[in-house]
Structure 1
């Protein structure tokens, strides 16, 4: 399938010492180790700059809490969705009463999310984002991280999330985004799996490669507002979809 192109982000990334304070714990130090392997880079047809910021997204970690850029961006988005301008650790201290559903483990945030009083955890295959076994308007906050690309019908999943969210509820999530492209399905292409080299479990199969138009899918599913929250752009981007 031929990929359409979109405006490409800057090809250089700032040094680790230029990354701002962690949105999880507030620490300012980071370490990095590349995590992509050649096979996945080839399957994804990543350019060198694209591989660099995906590596940074997944392989750059806070020295304080151990969270990577992806999880830190998600934490920033969770706080922003609540109108809170400090860290996730500080948000926990306020004990917001949201009914929270965490689907799979949201990056490395699970130990912190479990501290919220309204937290409920569910993982695949016990829960299917395409057909949630929850009542209408029964949840205030849905959180997941790099899950939607593994769902066969992401539009059905987004529509289900909107259905179960209460008025003013929000879904906060990440997906891998290649900012220089538009989204595409992998239907008809060779199977590709995230995880580690050699992984071939069905739940790690990639069905959608998301691009800069991911916001449009959120709006098409019926959400009233979509916010893109950046931490160390373009490596860290999270999405807030408001009911």
Structure 2
């Protein structure tokens, strides 16, 4: 059990506790160095004692705060009139963030793979904010999924998401490699199958999907990075 210092974007807490979450088989499958395994463990296993958000969710919260222009916590934002007017698509949910937003009148929850991220059942331009967390790596065609996120965003809307990023290498597709799963390795559920290992060039998938303006938000770099992309137009 390791303690770390950070400020939680969801509840404002400053007390975090870290537990190791990676297992030897996954470390071997991803060919992670000791340093890489340590910061990915921190990304996934270091959680706020107040609300349970781990560092990657805290980074996602920072991206959402910047997207909404709200400088207080996500919990506080969820109680504002501005939040009540925001049309939100939450794909798969994120610990602590989803509960803070789920009661809003324009909030929509859609879980992959029940909802196909490659062909989402929503009209063009109907959301102001799209959120997903550590989901894109399980989708067979990440650019197409990001294009779908862009399609359902209204002009001026934002996509905020996380993927596990190994910052010292480039992205690779796992086609032809042994199957690798996130979550409980005993379940081997197909929606936990890793399709893409994202690296330092993860940002390029957003540009390939048609976004023109993107930003990255880091918490204890390189432990946790969130991406934010703005829908400039529908062309």
Structure 1 length-normalised TM: 0.90
Cα contact 1:186–1:206 (8 A) shared by 2: yes
Q: CA deviation at 1:108?
A: 4.2
**2:52 pairs with 1:66:** yes
Indicate the residue corresponding to 2:116 in structure 1: 128
Which residues of structure 1 form unaligned runs of 5+? 1-14
Q: Deviations over 1:115-150 (max 9, x none)?
A: 333211111233111111111111111111000000
Q: Identify the residue that residue 45 of structure 1 maps to in structure 2.
A: 31
What CA distance in whole angstroms lies between the structure 1 residues aligned with 2:114 and 2:18? Answer: 34
Aligned pair partner of 1:57 in 43, 50, 53: 43
What pairs with 1:85-104 in structure 2 (closer than 5 Å)? 85-95=71-81, 96=83, 97-104=85-92
Aligned to 1:9: none
Give the distance between the partners of 1:106 and 1:226, measured in 2 at CA.
21
Corresponding residue to 2:8 among 10, 14, 22: 22
Q: Deviations over 1:141-178 (max 9, x none)?
A: 11110000000000110111111110011111100000
Shifted more, 43-52 versus 113-122: the winner is: 113-122
- C-alpha distance after superposition, 1:38-68 (max 9, x if no partner): 0000001000010001100111111111111
CA distance in 2, matches of 1:70, 1:190: 26
For residues 225 and 16 of structure 1, the distance between their equivalents in structure 2, rounded to whole angstroms, comes to 36
Which of residues 224, 228, 232 is equivalent to 1:240?
228
User: Helix, strand or coil: the match of 1:93?
Assistant: coil
Aligned length: 228
Q: Deviations over 1:60-106 (max 9, x none)?
A: 11111111111111111110111222211121122321110111122
> Residues of 2 paired with 1:121 and 1:242: CA distance?
20
List per-residue Cα deviations over 1:215-243 (Å, max 9, x = no partner). 11101111121110112211111110111
After the TM superposition, which parts of structure 1 deviate over 3 Å for at least 4 consecutive aligned residues? none
Root-mean-square deviation over aligned CA pairs: 1.3
